Structure 1
Amino acid sequence: MEVERRWLNHYPPEIPSEVDYKEKPLFTYLEEAADIEPEKTALHFLGKELTYQELHESSLRFANGLVSLGIEKGDRVAIMLPNCPQAVIAYYGILLAGGIVVQTNPLYTERELSHQLEDSGAVAIVCLDQLFSRVAAVKEDTSLRHVIVTGIKDYLPFPKNLVYPYIQKKQKPYILVDVQYGDTVHAFKEMLNKSHATRIALTIDPKEDIALLQYTGGTTGPSKGVMLTHSNLAVNAKQCSIWIYKHRVGEEVVLAALPFFHVYGMTVVMNQAIMTRAKLIILPRFDAKQVLQTIHKQRPTLFPGAPTMYIALLNHPDLGKYDLSSIKACISGSAPLPLEVQQKFQEVISGSLVEGYGLTEASPVTHCNFIYEKKVKGSIGVPWPDTEAAIYSTERDEPAHVGEVGELMVRGPQVMKGYWKQPEETAAVLKDGWLLTGDMGYMDEDGYFYIVDRKKDLIIAGGYNIYPRDVEEVLYEHEAVKEAVVVGVPDPYRGETVKAFVVLKDNIPCTEDQLNQFCRQHLAAFKVPRIYEFRTELPKTMVGKILRRVLLEEEKAKEQQAEEQKVQEI
């Protein structure tokens, strides 16, 4: 299927429509950075700094350490770490050893961890000492042969590295673990100290060899391993650096508040920063006050994030005490960016906050608004270089007309190789090179794209199609609303009806009636929520994406409980 790439008419001269990516392994960019600017700071972590030469040498030592444990090309090695220098060293070390990275969320339960390790066939894992007991509990049921353990203190500066264990013991004594090292359990720092910083001879085919198994969130079924090649990941990081064309190679400072174990943080933050020889300011987790303090002191120029991060900063009581003017660009992803949030956050920084779009299966970014040129409200922007996009009508089974809602399809060099060991699932979403995203949207006359919602999130009430994002945008415009998410719940008359979960801003009271009146002023009657539930917080992923699925599961549980109660009464 050929498409008219009308969005290219709006590309500025600085952004090419096609790029020569010089196919090479992803780790090559770290090697080049260490060769060109060895003494430049690569990582800053709570006061500790590593140069590009130190980062490269540590990654080589880790790679050789893996080889000494019997790790071979194509073996899967899992990383279960928060943002820290070890996460970057392990990531590039695995690739330098010819292995395949399996990113694992540190918050996973034993059941979730076991599924991912079993499915990937990971033979080794790098984990935090605090998480060791969880890994040990599932080790015998998986293919794991080796566990490599590290701690936050391993890369803290003096004297923080000495004080940290005592603070940890006092504040969280329940998470302290006495790790018993041996033939299959290894200390991260000791492993590096025993290994050589020499390059391992191996041949990598960037377009065919898998660099990463990134597991989907499981929002539409069991979590699947997305196979992303060296080329997929390198291309997407390159596309990102081209999009931010005013940023200067070797001179930027990137704030890493997004977790590296999420594909968005991995590509747009970590890989993109190393590709452009930027200084990467690493935070182990998102804490609004710490982020404000870090921006004020470290002066980052690029801050990729998620909408909930920007919302938290805007609503922090001390926001006015900090200078955020160093930030020149913010790219928001992982969830829809409310217009109110975008406009208000741009008022407190010196640069631009734009919404982008992507999915794990595309490494992840496919679309973004222009950072320095025309931005379109409510739009995810236009496709990145070498990326095609089209809207397909699910009703007529043919390409949709301009302005018509259908399923978004994308095609480009960042699109995955497929799902790990799932050929049928792969065939269901990859059609002649086109990736079916499962997201519903439309394209306007100028080639700008808009997402109305996930196909599976569509609410059908009384025969009307209701897209949650339409309702959520209106709720966010209310002065008292801090966060909002909308779901469809069963209704005996309409089939489904709209329920809104709302978190209010501190010190701004609001009632259900007030929200209802506001929505009726700005929405068609059939879209107005019939039920409101006020909460102090909403369930979120580590990236800050609101988990609509969890709320739906809660509603189903309530419905089932009500049905059981009726049966008992009968």
Structure 2
Amino acid sequence: VMFYAVYDGGTVIVFPRPDIEGLMKAVEKYKAHVLHGVPTLYNAINNHPKVGKYKLNTLFFCVSGAAPLPLEVARRFEKLTGAVLREGYGLTETAVVTHVNPLYGKNKLGSIGIPIPNTYAAIADLEKPVLLPPGSIGEIVISGPQVMKGYNVEEENRLAFFTAHGLRWFRTGDIGYMDEEGYFYVLDRKKDMIKYKGYSVYPREIEEVLLSNECVKEAAVVGIPSPDVGEIPKAFVVLKDACIGKIREDDLLKWVEDKLAPYKRPKSIEFRGDLPKSPVGKILRRVLRDEELKKLQKQE
């Protein structure tokens, strides 16, 4: 991000802590045209009570990373600001960026885009060292000069790397697929996938549906262990201020019924004032999962 500003001859404005109103003030003051952030930042701008007070129409190119970008969040932000919001993808192990939706090429909402130059990407079987054809769901794998040599622990390297078609591939831990045009899509983290009665349930799909409800500000879904079905999807929701006290758990559960297959529907929804987040604003599902596991342990 900082090197892009150097290349462009621009000014870099850094916010070490989330400060949505401060960020909007800075966009207006400096007439910022590029913004890099995480999905929760764009969602917070969309829902900020003072968003109409500041001029954000100087923004031209915005990039979202670190977590999947909900479609509803992207649509609302682009409509609100008139900016182009592109989703990208990368990991620390791959020198950060590996995919992005082209600024001037085709942008596919919901996609992380296409591999950047000198980067190979594919979809691999979740267990076997085999690459899969377009449309197949598997693990996103990366190969290229920017991929790290390996971890310090050899067992981790054995699980993270494999060779196929003459290339050394790194397993990202993200489940997704590639379409016929070479655009990649992230469904969820492999470790976050919920197994319900043998079905694979992706938390992101449930979260997308919940976020499309006009009363939902934030949503997170985790799997709760169950001896009968494997794992049960549970949703955690932050309501918009105007809807607090006006919508019940049953209302949302009923609302998702015709939008998700029966095995994908959350079995319970817990309303919260906020959701646990990392310093950069990424929702931490593992914290919610750990809280639920502690509750189960107390019941035993």
**TM-score clears 0.5:** yes
2:263 pairs, out of 504, 526, 539, with 526
Change (3 A) 1:521 1:373: same
Q: Which runs of 4+ in 1 moved over 4 A?
A: none
Q: Note if contact 1:352-1:372 (Cα within 8 Å) is conserved in structure 2.
A: no
Distance 1:495 1:285 in 2: 38
Matches within 5 A, 1:186-205: none
Distance 1:543 1:414 in 2: 24
Deviations 1:504-555 (A, max 9, x none): 1111232111111221111001100001111000010011110111111111
The Cα shift of 1:359 comes to 1.3
Distance 1:534 1:488 in 2: 16
The Cα shift of 1:418 comes to 2.6
Q: Say yes or no: does 1:376 pair with 2:113.
A: no
Q: Say yes or no: does 1:292 pair with 2:11.
A: no
Name the residue aligned to 1:404. Answer: 136
Name the residue aligned to 1:469. Answer: 204
Secondary structure of 2:13's partner?
A: strand
Matches within 5 A, 1:98-177: none
Q: Note if contact 2:253-2:268 (Cα within 8 Å) is conserved in structure 1.
A: no
Structure 1 segments unaligned to the other structure (5+ residues): 1-268, 564-570
Secondary structure of 2:145's partner?
A: coil
Distance 1:498 1:376 in 2: 28
Name the residue aligned to 1:496. Answer: 231
The Cα shift of 1:473 comes to 0.8
Distance 1:527 1:319 in 2: 34
Deviations 1:172-226 (A, max 9, x none): xxxxxxxxxxxxxxxxxxxxxxxxxxxxxxxxxxxxxxxxxxxxxxxxxxxxxxx
Matches within 5 A, 1:18-29: none
Q: Say yes or no: does 1:510 pair with 2:242.
A: no
1:562 maps to amino acid: Q
Distance 1:380 1:329 in 2: 15
Distance 1:417 1:534 in 2: 44
Distance 1:289 1:549 in 2: 28
Name the residue aligned to 2:193. Answer: 458
2:298 pairs, out of 561, 565, 568, with 561
2:66 pairs, out of 312, 315, 334, with 334
Secondary structure of 1:304's partner?
A: strand
1:388 pairs, out of 120, 144, 165, with 120
Name the residue aligned to 1:430. Answer: 161
Distance 1:480 1:467 in 2: 22
Deviations 1:421-446 (A, max 9, x none): 33442343133431111111111111
2:271 maps to amino acid: F
Distance 2:24 2:157 in 1: 42
Deviations 1:475-523 (A, max 9, x none): 1101111110110002232121100011111112321111112211110
Secondary structure of 1:496's partner?
A: strand
2:9 maps to amino acid: R
Aligned length, in residue pairs: 294
Secondary structure of 1:507's partner?
A: helix
Distance 1:278 1:304 in 2: 14
Structure 2 length-normalised TM: 0.93
Distance 2:122 2:198 in 1: 27
Structure with greater proportional helix content: 1
1:279 pairs, out of 11, 15, 30, with 11
The Cα shift of 1:448 comes to 1.0
Deviations 1:98-132 (A, max 9, x none): xxxxxxxxxxxxxxxxxxxxxxxxxxxxxxxxxxx
Q: Note if contact 2:129-2:162 (Cα within 8 Å) is conserved in structure 1.
A: no
Secondary structure of 2:22's partner?
A: helix
Change (3 A) 1:415 1:311: same
Q: Note if contact 1:459-1:496 (Cα within 8 Å) is conserved in structure 2.
A: yes
The Cα shift of 1:275 comes to 4.2
Matches within 5 A, 1:67-82: none
Distance 2:3 2:156 in 1: 28
The Cα shift of 1:381 comes to 1.1
Name the residue aligned to 2:283. Answer: 546
CA-atom RMSD in angstroms: 1.5
2:103 maps to amino acid: I
Matches within 5 A, 1:435-454: 435-454=170-189
Deviations 1:386-418 (A, max 9, x none): 111110122665221221111110112221233
Secondary structure of 2:242's partner?
A: coil
The Cα shift of 1:339 comes to 0.6
Distance 2:155 2:5 in 1: 36
Q: Note if contact 2:33-2:61 (Cα within 8 Å) is conserved in structure 1.
A: yes
Distance 2:12 2:194 in 1: 41
Distance 2:271 2:82 in 1: 34
Structure 2 segments unaligned to the other structure (5+ residues): none
Secondary structure of 2:37's partner?
A: coil
Distance 2:49 2:83 in 1: 22
Distance 1:497 1:284 in 2: 36
Distance 2:35 2:49 in 1: 20
Q: Note if contact 1:356-1:368 (Cα within 8 Å) is conserved in structure 2.
A: yes
1:357 maps to amino acid: Y
Q: Note if contact 1:353-1:371 (Cα within 8 Å) is conserved in structure 2.
A: no
1:321 pairs, out of 47, 53, 62, with 53
Secondary structure of 1:348's partner?
A: helix
- Structure 1 window deviating more from structure 2 (517-526 vs 389-398): it is 389-398
Distance 1:296 1:278 in 2: 15
Q: Note if contact 1:369-1:376 (Cα within 8 Å) is conserved in structure 2.
A: yes
Distance 1:281 1:378 in 2: 28
Structure 1 length-normalised TM: 0.50
Q: Once the two structures are aligned, what percentage of the paired residues are identical? A: 49
2:32 maps to amino acid: P
Matches within 5 A, 1:265-276: 269-276=1-8
Q: Say yes or no: does 1:351 pair with 2:88.
A: no
